[in-house]
Amino acid sequence: MEPISYSRHRFPPGIIQHAVWLYFRFSLSFRDVEDLLAERGINVSYETVRRWTVKFGKLYSRRLHKLRPEPSSTWHIDEVFLKIGGKQMYLWRAVDDEGEVLDVLLQSRRNTAATTKFLRRTIKRHQTTPCVVVTEKWRPSMSAVRDILPSAKHLVGKRSNNRAENSHQPTRRRDDETTRTKTATLQVYQVRAAFPLNLHRLL
């Protein structure tokens, strides 16, 4: 795996990694991260934190995806409603039964074609198919799973899909906080989904 270059950066990699991790892992603003670092005696401006997230966020996300183990055989598929730039969008998310986010995809539609596209993308990305798929009791999802994964066991029901629902919670909190600015993008959601609770997985 090619190392990430930190040349021409005044701060050591550990501080940069910690700042980027704080921003993407929790519902924090750039100024919140600035304050948390200042509490530890690290004087970094919020604009510097913003630049770090732009430069290193995607790189960290790719590295984390490569370091992840193979997903378990049970996948939970769900979508959450978002407003981006005043337009209704749907953020699709797949997680396994251990809570690992397998993939996210932002789409403008919520129908069979959208579910099919997301399933195919997730299967292609991980080069594997699940034995069990859990979704809400919604006809387009049920139809897509039946067509794409006919041999998989399909479980439906809101309570059965709590794993995916819980995975959406940080996104909902962040979306509520950014509703006025309308700055959320697919790249931000993809990067955020990759960041683990344990910072050491970045190192």
* pLDDT, mean of residues 54-58: 90
State residue 201's pLDDT score.
53
Q: What is the distance between the alpha carbons of residues 143 and 136, in angstroms, rounded to a whole number? A: 12
The runs of H, that is alpha helices, within the chain are 13-25, 30-39, 46-67, 112-126, 139-148, 162-177, 186-194
- 5 three-class SS: coil
pTM reported for the whole predicted model? 0.63
Q: Which two tokens stand for residue 12?
A: 């050591």
Q: What is the pLDDT of residues 74-128, one digit of tens each?
A: 998 888 887 777 888 888 888 888 778 888 888 989 899 999 999 999 999 888 9
**pLDDT band (50, 70, 90) for residue 182:** very low
**pLDDT band (50, 70, 90) for residue 183:** very low
Token look-up 């995916």 returns: 164
State residue 194's pLDDT score.
60
State residue 18's pLDDT score.
93
Q: What is the distance between the alpha carbons of residues 151 and 157, in angstroms, rounded to a whole number? A: 19
* pLDDT, mean of residues 137-166: 79
- Counting residues of the chain whose pLDDT is more than 70, the rounded percentage is 77
Task: Report the chain's mean pLDDT, rounded to a whole number.
Answer: 80
Q: What is the distance between the alpha carbons of residues 31 and 62, in angstroms, rounded to a whole number? A: 26
